[in-house]
Amino acid sequence: MLDTGSTGFMLLACSLVMLMTPGLALFYGGLATKRNILGIMIQSFVSLGWTTVLWVIFGYSLCFSGGEGGIIGNFDKAFLHGIGISSMYTNGKIPEIVFVAYQMMFAIITPALITGAFVNRVNFKAFFLFLTVWQVLVYYPFVHMIWGGGLLAQWGIIDFAGGIVVHATAGFAALASVFYVGARVNKNSTPNSIPLVAIGSSLLWFGWYGFNAGSEVAVDFVTSLAFLNTDIAASFATIAWMFVEWTQERKPKFVGLLTGSIAGLATITPCAGFVPLWSSPLIGIAAGLLCYFAVRFKNRMKWDDALDVWGVHGVGGVLGTILLGVFAAKAVNPAGTDGLLLGGSAFFFKQVVAVFAAAAYAFIFTYIMLIIINLITPVKVSEEIEKSGLDEALHGERAYDEGAL
């Protein structure tokens, strides 16, 4: 029987997750240089449109139709075949069309996260191919294997809202992209608008409540737990990042504080509905500290991950998945399991193996995929275009009309 409360909440959660992609565009757009604002923002917005097309044609079916215990689903629900207006999701509380829309929003934002790593230097044609192939051969299989009843789910892996499925895969794909594409001509570029970064990060934080709490796909006690865990971890990570950066660099940085909030949100994502409230401050502090030092390590190694996608999402996703293996408790969510602190050493080991295997696959596949795409169309723009800026060279537009009165 339709649960109107859960259905209403899931429609709201779906809207919140949709809002995260424009929020990401603003976050990345503010961090980009002045001549590359539109070049990075269009990559997020094109995912809103093109990912929806792919999702309706075959994406949802490959993720959530058939393939029990396998790597990928089948085409039984291609073009949303068999999903009627009264079809119910498996929990019996919401229409399946609401679940289709909700999961589609996850598919939209995941590849968009990667774009911050190669800002200022990738051709749009190459990105469009990247967006398409990466979803089909990286994102869809991991959605199916974990959330669609596939191989990893059968093995006992859990991931509440995307530590493996979203953040670890996107973060390590970003690192592979950095290694393949190489460094920018000018690596010392500064954000064009920190207020824009603040607006974007605010929308991301706001939308993350739908991202995490909505992943319960119902309104119950776990929904409330996931909501509060999300806010607590993000807040503790924000302050932890600010203080460690203040200590290391002698000044509290606003961009650093905002980045710390995203690190906390990414790290709590796999844990949100499976861990007790008392653990979320610890998860947040760990996220703020480890992700900050991951970014410092990246800088020391001269990896030109322009907007710190690996250090925030990759490291955060891996850390959160491992900490889920530590703090998980069936007492707070019977659908989960007990972590290392409650005697679940086998579960902890499985989580560690799964997240590192996912990260390795995403890294290796992405690097090979970029080599193949480069045979079709150049991945990296010329040095001349990079210096002049992608906005006008590739898109024929400018973010700001500097000549206007």
What's the whole-model pTM score? 0.95
Residues 40 and 119: beta-carbon distance below 8 Å? yes
Residues 115 and 66: beta-carbon distance below 8 Å? no
Block residue for tokens 């000018």: 186
Give per-10-residue mean pLDDT for the chain (405 aa).
Answer: 94 98 95 91 96 98 95 97 94 96 98 92 95 97 97 97 97 96 80 93 97 97 98 98 95 95 98 98 98 95 91 98 98 96 97 98 98 96 88 89 59
**What b/e sequence results for 213-244 when a residue is b if at least 16 CB atoms lie within 10 Å of its CB, and e otherwise?**
bbbbbbbeebbebbbebbbbbbbbbbbbbbbb
Residues 81 and 124: beta-carbon distance below 8 Å? no
Q: What is the chain's length?
A: 405
The Cα 6–Cα 8 span in angstroms is 5
Residues 198 and 258: beta-carbon distance below 8 Å? yes
Q: What is the pLDDT of residue 405?
A: 46
**C-alpha of 64 from chain center:** 19
Whether residue 336 is contained in a domain is answered as yes
Kindly tell me the burial class for residue 194, based on how many C-beta atoms sit within 10 Å of its own C-beta (0-12, 13-18, 19 or more).
middle
Whether residue 397 is contained in a domain is answered as no
The Cα 346–Cα 266 span in angstroms is 24
Whether residue 207 is contained in a domain is answered as yes
Kindly tell me the burial class for residue 247, based on how many C-beta atoms sit within 10 Å of its own C-beta (0-12, 13-18, 19 or more).
exposed
Assign residue 159 a region (left: φ > 0; alpha: ψ between -120 and 50; beta: otherwise): beta
The Cα 296–Cα 322 span in angstroms is 21
Tokens (6 digits) for 107: 């598919």
Whether residue 72 is contained in a domain is answered as yes
Domain count, the chain: 1
The Cα 253–Cα 255 span in angstroms is 6
Residues 235 and 289: beta-carbon distance below 8 Å? no
The Cα 307–Cα 304 span in angstroms is 9
The Cα 229–Cα 225 span in angstroms is 6
Assign residue 381 the CATH number of its domain. Answer: 1.10.3430.10
Q: What is the pLDDT of residue 119?
A: 87
**Which amino acid, residue 11?**
L
Whether residue 249 is contained in a domain is answered as yes
The Cα 311–Cα 309 span in angstroms is 6
Whether residue 403 is contained in a domain is answered as no
| Residue 121 structural domain | 4-392
Whether residue 85 is contained in a domain is answered as yes
Three-state SS at 122: strand
Distance between start and end Cα atoms, the chain:
60
Q: What is the pLDDT of residue 22?
A: 96
Tokens (6 digits) for 25: 């565009």
**Which amino acid, residue 314?**
G
| Counts for the chain of helices (H) and strands (E), in that order | 17, 0
Q: What is the pLDDT of residue 403?
A: 57
Whether residue 25 is contained in a domain is answered as yes
Residues 339 and 325: beta-carbon distance below 8 Å? yes
Q: Which residues neighbour 405 within 8 Å (Cβ) at sequence distance 6 or greater?
A: none
